[in-house]
Structure formats: C-alpha cells, structure tokens
Structure 1
Amino acid sequence: MLHDKDIREPLFDFLEETYGKNRILEEKRTGRSRADVVMVTPKALYGIEIKSDADTYARLAGQVKDYDKFYDYNIAVVGSHHGEHVHEHVPEHWGIITAEESDGSVDFYFLRQPQCNPGRKWRWKLSLLWRPELAQLQEWNDMPKYKDKSKLFVIRKIMERIPEKLSEETLSQQVSEILFERDYMKVAELLAEYRKGELQKKIEQEEDPEKRREMLERQAKMQKNFVGKARPRPRRRRRSRKRQVL
C-alpha cells in the first residue's frame, strides 16, 4: 500500500522528467482547500492532488471545485487502488496519473493527460501572488502603482487589461516568472518593506499632527517587529528544481 510520503519524492522526479523546468510548491492554500502540490512551469500552473491508497474520495468534490478556480491544469495522482474509479470523481479535463510499486520503487503512468481547465479564473489565479508581486506585474505592464489600493483592487485593474492590452498568454508567463523567482527566505523583508513604503506615503500626506504621530509610532513598531522576527528558514534544493512548502 502506497502512502502519501511514498509518492511525493518520486513524483517530483517524474514531473521533472515529463515537464522539464518547473518549480514545486507544496501545501498551497487554494480557496477552502489546500493543494498538495502546485507545479509552476514557464507558461502555466498545475494543481496536483495526491490520493494515496490510504486516502478516500470524501473531500475530493470540494477540492476539485477549488482547484478549478485557480490552476490552468489539474492532475489527480492516485495509488493503484484508486486507478479504476478515479475518473468517476474528477472532470474530464483533469489529468490522471497512477502510482504503482515496482521492485522497491514507485512507477508513474498517465491514464489521462490534463487538458486546459475551462473554469480557471484570473481573479483567483492572481490572488496566489503577494501584493509586492502584483506591483511587479503593474510595472512590467506600464500600469499605475495604486500603492494605496487593496490587493483585490489591483487584481481587478490587471484583469481589465485582458485581452486588449495584455494577452492571457503573456500574463501567464509573467505570473510563472514571478513564482519561479519568489524567494521565501526574503518574504518577511519583502512584505515589511512594501508595507513600510505604503505607510510612509500616508504619513507624508497626513496633516493632522496627532494622527501623524500615531502613524510614526506604528512605523517604528513595524520596524522593531521585523528586526526581531524576520529569521529566514533554509530552503532545500533538489537538482535544478525548486521546492517550497507554502
């Protein structure tokens, strides 16, 4: 019987051999679900749900619904016990990979290749990016900075450019490029610096002395917390592929 831990490591090697350049993100929050694996390729994002021989289909319906909002392609990776019936539980556009034990190792086979997900929404796919990463998209596409606006506001502004000013193909490539370059060791610094810049702008615009003083105190507290807590965790590397638990 194959368990999740038996499948993951050899699966990542199989994906690298099959798709070439990729980055693996594990345990990514996806709506109300948590994607086991998100595979970033140069042109698309793949949501991958692992159902080992020890798993059931109890939560799969909800997971399918969530995955289909976020990812360009989706794949179910199942133990051999599920091979005969998994197609009854996932849509036709989902790919299916079976994992089978063979001479002490795990072999993988495509029962069905994934097709482009017709339900993927840019609103949800772009939400996978951090606010500073959305700012990078804005810069690349000559958009206003909207520094005082929310993440959702910026996402909607980017979406308004599709397809007249920004093709879906180009935007997908840009999202993948950002996720390839994402550095989890610098995440605290990146977010702190971005928020500090937003707060600094508000301080400069504030005319009420009392409110200005409160904002300066908040800025100092943010800096103190960053210095005390921002301790980067080491990132494990395997071959040329990047993996990170998100």
Structure 2
Amino acid sequence: MNKLDDRDIRVALRKMVSTYKDAKVFDEYTTYSGKSRADLVAINGHVNAFEIKSDYDSLSRLENQVKEYDLNFERNCIVAGEKYIEKVSKVVPDHWGIILARRNRESRVSLNYKRVATLNPNLDFVSFAGLLESSKFRKIVLDDNFYEKSGLERGEVNSMFKYDLIAYLDSTLSQYQKSILKKVIRAKLKEE
C-alpha cells in the first residue's frame, strides 16, 4: 500500500472542492467553540466541512471532531486513506460523506466517494451563527431587521454579548426566520 500523508490528500481535495459551483474554499476553519478545526471548508449553497485522516494520522480525536462538526457545519465529510477507510465508516454518522483517497496508477491522488454527505440533522443554530465574527453578525441583525422580529430594540443588540444575542434570537425567531438568517450568515461567511 502506498501511504498518503495529509498534504497529498489536501492538495487533491482542495482541487476537487474548488470545482464546486460558486464555492469559496478555506483551510483550517475553526469551530465556534474553538475545540476543533476543519481541515477544509467549502462554502457555496451550504457550509461543507471536510476532515482528513491520512495514513499517518490517528483516529483518537475523531469522535469529538464528529460532535463539533455536527454542531457547526451543514454538511460533513471525512476523507481517509485506505488504512482507515473501514474504521472511519464505523465512527461517522450516516449523514456524513465518506471519501476514499488513494494513489492511482499514475501516482496521483484519486478521491472516490463511498458515501455522499446529506444535510446534517444535528446542526446547532447558535454554533452555526457563532462562526461569523461579532461585528458582522450584529450588522446582519440590525441591517436585515432580525432584531425587530425577535422583539429587541436597536440599542439592545449593541449592548449584548454575541453569544447572548445569538441565543436570544435562537429562542425567539421562528424556524423560517432562522433559515433566512442562516442563508444571510452563509453569504457573509463566504465573503471572509
């Protein structure tokens, strides 16, 4: 077996996700809690996170990474070399995508989907909204009148801590309003 390291896989993955329609690609994207960092994130119609497990990695943190990714990102996918492909498929939930990375005959890294990611049913609104920096989040809430929809005054928005503001909106906005706000957040994240 020809072992693959993180860099080999990352280069091939970046090339693949760069072909996604209207995608903006980020390396080493930190979750809201700061407990995990996605190896690659591609933002287009959704925030898609990718965790790489090369043949030289360990799976010791994978369960915690799965929990963090599920709180923060709309679609999640693990990319693994042949050494770990069977093990990771037993750890990641069914809504996660699984991509096998291996060298082809020309010694290039090929990526093949074993399972395509579906929308994450465990996405946490607070964590997702928290991905956006504080000033940009407040600007959205004020400019798009989300503060009025939640019963806040303009001045209250500026005096609240970011987490408290997000938590308040989470508890007062309807699911529909939150889906609109997530769409605006996604667009702002793409601009960063």
Superposition TM-score tier, normalisation by shorter sequence: 0.7 to 0.9
1:80: Cα distance to partner?
Answer: 2.1
Q: 1:157 corresponds to which letter in structure 2?
A: Y
Structure 1 Cα separation of the partners of residues 134 and 66 of structure 2: 26
After TM superposition, the runs of 4+ consecutive aligned structure 1 residues lying more than 6 A away are none
Task: Report the CA distance shift for 1:2/1:92 in structure 2 as closer, same or farther (over 3 A).
Answer: same
Name the count of aligned residue pairs.
Answer: 178
Match of 1:119 among 118, 122, 135: 122
From the CA coordinates, give the structure whose radius of gyration is larger.
1
- CA contact 1:44–1:172 (8 Å) conserved in 2: no
- CA contact 2:5–2:54 (8 Å) conserved in 1: yes
Please give the secondary structure, in 1, of the residue aligned with 2:64.
helix
Cα RMSD for the two superposed structures: 1.6
Matches within 5 A, 1:12-91: 12-17=14-19, 19-30=20-31, 31=33, 32-41=35-44, 43-91=45-93
- CA contact 1:138–1:158 (8 Å) conserved in 2: no
Match of 1:108 among 105, 108, 111: 111
1:10: Cα distance to partner?
Answer: 1.7
Q: 2:109 corresponds to which letter in structure 1?
A: V
Corresponding position of 1:148: 159
TM, length-normalised to structure 1: 0.68
Structure 2 Cα separation of the partners of residues 167 and 150 of structure 1: 19
Determine if the alignment matches structure 1 residue 177 to structure 2 residue 187: yes
Q: 2:114 corresponds to which letter in structure 1?
A: L
TM, length-normalised to structure 2: 0.85
- CA contact 2:96–2:117 (8 Å) conserved in 1: yes
Q: 2:21 corresponds to which letter in structure 1?
A: G
Corresponding position of 1:131: 134
List runs of 5+ in structure 2 lacking aligned partners. 148-152
Corresponding position of 2:169: 158
| Deviation sequence 1:68-101 (CA, Å, 0-9, x none) | 1111111001112222332111111110011111
1:8: Cα distance to partner?
Answer: 1.0
- CA contact 2:18–2:25 (8 Å) conserved in 1: no
| Deviation sequence 1:104-157 (CA, Å, 0-9, x none) | 311111100101111111011111111111122213421243112110122123
| Deviation sequence 1:42-91 (CA, Å, 0-9, x none) | x3211211000111211101111111111111100111222233211111
List runs of 5+ in structure 1 lacking aligned partners. 183-246
Q: 2:129 corresponds to which letter in structure 1?
A: L
1:167: Cα distance to partner?
Answer: 4.6
Corresponding position of 2:97: 95
Structure 2 Cα separation of the partners of residues 57 and 16 of structure 1: 27
Structure 1 Cα separation of the partners of residues 11 and 129 of structure 2: 28
Q: Percent identity?
A: 29
